[in-house]
């Protein structure tokens, strides 16, 4: 097989493939043999059927037509791999008017849209920030505060404390429906309740805000028109009106324990606070050891992305977005949850989710193109042996068979591309100017 690549005036790439006559003849001979063995022809033994008989039975051009299809389907991906082409759109095969002919070369052409070779505005080393490898006193203090908060208790606030929109209170409630019957799910003595958690309808919580201990209120509402977890229950029961009388028994406040030597010994098993701080510092350092390499990569990619010159192809972003969504929904299925549940749990609406995925897709494509540019500039190449080694490291039962399968389907160039980008990332980090800081700067697009 011979291949040739040329760039057309339109900017597209034309790939021309020529399959040699010997290969065409071998394929035709093999297919006649297969047909003669696979199908029964009266008067002839399997495998000994003359070509004329097969042509008469199956059609004069049947074998040549099948070989033509096979040649196109099997040699095209091999040609793409041979020329190391990275395609970003469906290929356009030129109209093929003639079938393969035994003893003659067969040539066909394909018009392709390839990944663009964008450049960077600068190939100077990137400057990146990373957190200190060891724990800072502020980080240790934050961890210890989180530990103390985990062991908090609710205590009564002063009697003149007013209820706020996020307060935790003790409240006594008595509720009846439109018929005067008690509504048990809304009737309780000194129930602990945090406003904003969605158990009560908002109309009740709004009536509580601003009240103090001992003050009362009454609210009448239609459950179907006032969404909440309790409203949903009442609506299913057929309740059309509910009246709630309530009294604020106490406004609560969260009180975290003081971390004394005695407390940490009794509750956490450390002899002193100093020992707890040492242990916490060690854990933070271990976490940073895992996190810092990823932080370095992310910051380096962000710096390269800002240097990328040219437009990122929309088709590449669309493909990446589709892949991200497919991976995401697979994860949701594995977790046994739904998109609606995920959005609700994370306080995200559908439009924001779509925008986030599209932004992530655009950034990912830009990162890849930036690494490609760096690799070209640095002359980074990947050998065939390195591609084979990647399959050996894959953990597959038969790496050699997996390699041959990827090769047959023209996918080796994607492996080569991934290795190249990995090498480019190593090169970027090796040259980077790294500054350790106590706190990382917030990115400009943090919102």
Task: Please provide the average confidence, as pLDDT, over all residues in the chain.
Answer: 92
Per-residue confidence band for 439, with pLDDT thresholds at 50, 70 and 90? confident
The answer to whether 137 touches 106, Cβ cutoff 8 Å, is: no
Using CA atoms, how far residue 417 sits from 126, 138, 307, 381, in Å, is 22, 42, 21, 10
CA–CA gap between residue 303 and residue 126 (Å, rounded): 6
What are the pLDDT digits (tens) for 403-427? 999 988 888 989 999 999 999 999 9
What are the pLDDT digits (tens) for 61-82? 899 999 999 999 999 999 998 8
CA–CA gap between residue 413 and residue 422 (Å, rounded): 14
Q: What are 30's two structure tokens?
A: 């093999």
Q: What are 126's two structure tokens?
A: 């990137």
pLDDT of residue 345: 80
The answer to whether 175 touches 151, Cβ cutoff 8 Å, is: no
Residue 303 CB-density burial (10 A; 0-12 exposed, 13-18 middle, 19+ buried): middle
What are the pLDDT digits (tens) for 245-303? 999 999 999 999 999 999 999 999 999 999 999 999 999 999 999 999 999 999 999 99
Look up the pTM and report it: 0.69
Q: Percent of the chain beyond pLDDT 90?
A: 75
User: What is the arithmetic mean of pLDDT over 305-325?
Assistant: 93
Per-residue confidence band for 90, with pLDDT thresholds at 50, 70 and 90? confident
Q: Using alpha carbons, select from 192, 203, 273 the residue that is nearest to residue 231.
A: 203
Q: Using alpha carbons, select from 430, 439, 441, 443 the residue that is nearest to residue 131.
A: 439
CA–CA gap between residue 368 and residue 259 (Å, rounded): 48
Q: What are 174's two structure tokens?
A: 């008595």
Q: What are 234's two structure tokens?
A: 């009442």
CA–CA gap between residue 418 and residue 394 (Å, rounded): 14
The answer to whether 258 touches 266, Cβ cutoff 8 Å, is: no
Angle at 172 between CA 168 and CA 174, to 5 degrees: 135
Per-residue confidence band for 46, with pLDDT thresholds at 50, 70 and 90? confident
Say how far residue 254 (Cα) sits from the centre of its chain: 37
Angle at 24 between CA 21 and CA 30, to 5 degrees: 140
Whether pLDDT at 195 is above 80: yes
Per-residue confidence band for 443, with pLDDT thresholds at 50, 70 and 90? low
pLDDT of residue 347: 81
pLDDT of residue 447: 41
Burial pattern 407-423, b for ≥16 Cβ within 10 A else e, equals beebebbebbbebbbeb
Whether pLDDT at 445 is above 60: no
Dmax over Cα atoms in the chain, in whole Å? 108
CA–CA gap between residue 220 and residue 14 (Å, rounded): 74
Q: Percent of the chain beyond pLDDT 70?
A: 98
Whether pLDDT at 109 is above 90: yes
The string of DSSP codes covering 156-188 is EPPTTPPP-TT-EEEEEEEEEETTS-B-GGG-E
Whether pLDDT at 388 is above 80: yes
Beta pairing, strands 433-437 & 127-131:
parallel
Reported as half-sphere exposure (CB side, CA atoms, 13 A), residue 84 has a value of 10
125 φ/ψ sector (left φ>0, alpha ψ -120 to 50, else beta): beta
Beta pairing, strands 168-177 & 188-194:
antiparallel
User: What is the arithmetic mean of pLDDT over 344-373?
Assistant: 92
What are the pLDDT digits (tens) for 276-285? 999 999 999 9
What are the pLDDT digits (tens) for 121-164? 999 999 999 989 999 999 999 999 999 999 999 999 999 999 99
Q: Using alpha carbons, select from 22, 15, 3 the residue that is nearest to residue 105.
A: 22
CA–CA gap between residue 57 and residue 37 (Å, rounded): 14
């Amino acid at each position: 097989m011979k291949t040739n690549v040329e760039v057309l005036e339109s900017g597209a790439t034309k790939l021309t493939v020529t399959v040699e006559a010997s290969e065409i003849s071998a394929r035709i001979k093999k297919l006649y043999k297969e047909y003669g063995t696979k199908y029964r022809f009266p008067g002839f033994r399997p495998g000994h059927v003359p070509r004329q008989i097969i042509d008469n039975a199956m059609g004069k051009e049947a074998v040549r037509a099948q070989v033509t299809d096979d040649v196109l389907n099997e040699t095209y991906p091999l040609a793409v791999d041979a020329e190391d082409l990275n395609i970003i759109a469906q290929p356009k095969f030129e109209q093929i008017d003639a079938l393969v002919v035994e003893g003659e070369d067969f040539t066909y052409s394909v018009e392709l849209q390839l990944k663009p070779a964008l450049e960077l505005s600068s190939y100077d080393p990137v400057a990146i920030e990373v957190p200190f490898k060891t724990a800072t006193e502020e980080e240790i203090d934050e961890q210890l505060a989180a530990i103390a908060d985990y062991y908090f208790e609710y205590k009564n606030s002063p009697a003149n404390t007013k209820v706020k929109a996020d307060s935790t209170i003790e409240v006594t409630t008595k509720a009846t429906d439109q018929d005067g019957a008690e509504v048990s799910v809304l009737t309780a003595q000194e129930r602990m309740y945090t406003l904003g958690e969605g158990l009560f309808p908002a109309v009740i919580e709004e009536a509580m805000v601003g009240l103090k201990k001992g003050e009362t209120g009454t609210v009448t509402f239609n459950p179907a028109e006032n969404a909440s977890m309790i409203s949903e229950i009442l609506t299913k029961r057929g309740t059309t009106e509910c009246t709630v009388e309530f009294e604020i028994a106490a406004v609560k406040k969260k009180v975290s324990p003081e971390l004394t030597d005695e407390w940490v010994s009794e509750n956490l098993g450390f002899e002193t606070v100093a020992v707890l701080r040492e242990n916490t510092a060690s854990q933070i350092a271990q976490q940073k050891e895992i996190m810092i390499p990823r932080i370095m990569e992310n910051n380096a990619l962000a710096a390269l992305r800002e240097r990328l010159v040219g437009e990122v192809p929309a088709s590449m972003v669309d493909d990446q977005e589709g892949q991200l969504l497919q991976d995401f929904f697979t994860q949701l299925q594995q977790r046994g949850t739904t998109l609606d549940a995920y959005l609700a749990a994370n306080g995200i609406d559908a439009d924001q989710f779509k925008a986030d995925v599209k932004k992530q897709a655009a950034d990912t494509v830009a990162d890849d193109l930036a690494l490609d540019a760096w690799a070209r500039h640095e002359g980074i190449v990947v050998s065939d042996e390195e591609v084979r080694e990647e399959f050996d490291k894959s953990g597959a039962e038969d790496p050699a068979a997996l390699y041959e399968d990827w090769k047959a389907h023209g996918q080796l160039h994607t492996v080569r591309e991934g290795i190249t980008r990995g090498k480019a990332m190593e090169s970027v980090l090796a040259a980077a100017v790294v500054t350790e800081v106590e706190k990382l700067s917030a990115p400009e697009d943090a919102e």
